[in-house]
Chains A and B, each alone.
Chain A
Amino acid sequence: MTGGAPGRSLWQDARRRLLRNRAAVTAMVILAIIILLVTAAPWLSPWQFDQIDWDRLSIPPDPASRHWFGTDAVGRDLFVRTLLGGRVSLLVGVVATLVSLAIGVTWGAVAGYLGGRVDAVMMRVVDILYAMPFMFFVILLMVFFGRDILLLFVAIGAINWLDMARIVRGQTLALKQREFVEAAVASGLTTPAIIGRHIVPNLLGVVAVYVTLTIPQVILVESFLSFLGLGVQEPFTSWGALVNDGAQEIESAPWSLLFPASFLAVTLFCFNFIGDGLRDALDPRDR
């Protein structure tokens, strides 16, 4: 075999560029630490997330009793609750984004590739859903079906796919004009095969960027819902719910706002930096 080295794919190129972006790499490291902490939460503290320490209600951070972040008004350990809330928030962010990714990419790629009337009808559906007041929709769902965390995933994902579908459709329209799609038709590929083998893989760059920017958006939406009292239910919690609790005691116990809010903010920053880094790494105009 002569010159048999496998080539560098566009993904490998992009990864190299991403790894040269200091902000993105720092953000990835911090995010990795947060995910690690959140996963390992039960082993890092002697306290349970719903365990009440009757002797220490609403105390500031106190290493002696191993309440690293202090306790809330009913004496539950804030360190454990912050990490546990992080689990919920990150999970909502990732799962709801995956839901929107699956629906949005399929919908947008099919509408864009088929074009014509199919496209018109599919995109009008998107327009109609766009016109629905989102919060109203989620609140109605929560009221009718109860506050189920699965429902929360579905509700947020079902709203977020609209943007994804529009972005993907636009990209597909541009891709469809490229000659390699014609070449695929001439090669005898069926329409689903062309969408699956050529359109979607070429969309992934844009989609990856959008996903990293959607996750923090979803986390914020969940926080907002929790803040309104529509998110996760006690004794479970999320960063949004913790911020809500903390905000009510901001004068007497500022730490109960400070810690969850910092985690939330740092995570959001991380996702945004990674998204920016990915966009720069994948943007063909910089090549």
Chain B
Amino acid sequence: MSAATQPSERTESLLQVRDLEVHFTLPGDGWLARRRVVRAVDGVCFNLRAGRTLGVVGESGCGKSTLARALLGLVPATGGSIRLAGEEITGRTAAALRPLRRKVQMVFQDPFASLDPRMTLGQIIAEPLRALNPELDAAERRRRVRHLMERVGLAAGWIDRYPHEFSGGQCQRIGIARALACGPELLVCDEPVSALDVSVQAQIVNLLMELQRELGLALLFIAHDLAVVRQVSHEVMVMYLGRQAELAPAELLYRSPRHPYTRALLDSVPLPDPERERARQAVPLAGDPPSPLSPPAGCAFHTRCPRAQARCRQSRPALHPLEEGRQLACHFPLPVQ
């Protein structure tokens, strides 16, 4: 159990994200048409310390992946701040960002698409070393690559093979080895197991947790499988239409969700026991999330919320701190259980 965002801890946090906004402007129809704006990430705040994991959950299109890419500087933030080890990431040019890349790396969702099919494993894993540690010579790079491969559970003898000769799980290990190559402090994992078989998922999750223990990595773990997130995370953030609905220590969030959306997400997970499944009074989530192009006024969730009232349609609930390090954005939260 962790106590999360206490003010006194902010200074030690590896990653501090404040009011992060990533808005995309879409070209309008024709020259003078009003440009439409997608608020992919809209006011996200959290801290992440070394050696800890923040899980991020939400439906497709809620801005999880955009959040991940903003942390890597792959998409520019349009507002707010991201501080990594005390250094601001937002607003930097590509060249100014490069020194920080050694500290934060990413594991991608699609293990095949994230590896260049024309390169050997050795070339793929060595790439961050080539770009970020140019002082290393080829022999030293190769030695490090072999070490990394063994570390993530790949035979070092496969160094001259190509990605298409490997399974999804093995490719994901290659991706993890590449992400670890330059010794990052933060690993952003964008649905790293969603594309894998269930049996392989567990292996990859265990590998990531092992690496975290060993290297003291901070992990930002994005997934839509709530069970996986619960297993890996110290804290969990729930996102809805680019906004942060709730953030709480994992155990607390799963035991006692207070945002109706968190509750609905948890209720949508089937229970393994059919007796209990029948007995529980689940409130299933109806319909699809609204288009992020025109999110509802007020609380974005009010169109699907069983507790919505007039106020929810008019004013947007602010994110406010609650008990035990919980942050919540809801006018009518569920009672503590």
Contact = CB atoms under 8 A, between A and B. Distances in A.
Given A186-B72, A201-B118, A3 B113 contact: no
Nearest to A204: B118
B164 interface: yes
A198 interface: yes
Given A4-B157, A187-B127, A179 B98 contact: no
Nearest to B126: A187
B116 A193 contact: no
- Residue from A179, A185, A191, A202 with most neighbouring chain B CB atoms (10 Å): A179
Interface string B125-153: 00110011000000000000000000000
B114 A7 contact: no
Contact of A187 (B94, B110, B131, B160): B131
B41 interface: no
Contacts of A186: 72, 74, 101, 105-106
Contacts of B108: 179, 182-183
Using C-beta atoms within 8 Å of the partner chain, give the interface range for chain A. Answer: 20 to 34
A190 B98 CA distance: 9
A272 B7 CA distance: 71
Interface string A224-248: 0000000000000000000000000
Interface string A167-183: 00000000000111011
- Residue from A182, A183, A201, A202 with most neighbouring chain B CB atoms (10 Å): A183
B90 interface: no
A1 interface: yes
Contact of A10 (B69, B101, B118, B178): B118
Contact of A7 (B72, B155, B165): B165
Contacts, number: 89
Contacts of B114: 178-180, 182-183
Contacts of B94: 185, 190-191
Interface string B61-89: 00000000100101000000000000000
Contact of A178 (B101, B113, B178): B113
A197 to B, nearest CB: 8
Interface string A92-108: 00000000000000000
Nearest to B113: A179
A126 interface: no
A2 interface: yes
A191 B117 CA distance: 19
Interface string A2-14: 1111111111000
Contacts of A189: 127, 131
A248 B32 CA distance: 62
Given A183-B108, A184-B127, A202-B118, A3 B155 contact: yes
A186 B116 CA distance: 14
Contact of B101 (A3, A7, A187, A197): A187
Contacts of B98: 188
A236 B259 CA distance: 85
Contacts of B74: 182, 185-186
Given A179-B110, A187-B101, A8 B162 contact: yes
A202 B157 contact: no
A10 B120 CA distance: 10
A2 B69 CA distance: 37
Contact of B162 (A1, A4, A10, A179): A10
A21 to B, nearest CB: 21
A193 B131 contact: yes
Contacts of A1: 156-157
A183 B165 contact: no
Contacts of B156: 1-2
B175 interface: yes
A202 B116 contact: yes
Given A183-B175, A187-B178, A7 B105 contact: no
B109 interface: yes
Given A184-B127, A191-B94, A7 B118 contact: no
Contact of A188 (B132, B160, B175): B132
Contacts of B161: 5-7
A185 B178 CA distance: 13
B165 A2 contact: no
Interface in A188-212: 188-191, 193, 197-198, 201-202
A197 B126 CA distance: 13
Contacts of B254: none
B131 A7 contact: no
A9 B114 CA distance: 17
A201 B117 CA distance: 10
A6 B156 CA distance: 12
22 contacts: A1-B156, A2-B157, A7-B160, A7-B165, A8-B165, A10-B162, A179-B109, A180-B113, A182-B69, A182-B74, A182-B114, A184-B116, A184-B127, A185-B72, A185-B74, A186-B101, A188-B101, A189-B127, A193-B131, A197-B116, A201-B116, A202-B117
Interface of A: 1-11, 178-180, 182-191, 193, 197-198, 201-202
Closest 9 CB pairs of A and B: A7-B161, A6-B160, A179-B114, A188-B131, A4-B157, A187-B128, A188-B101, A1-B157, A179-B113
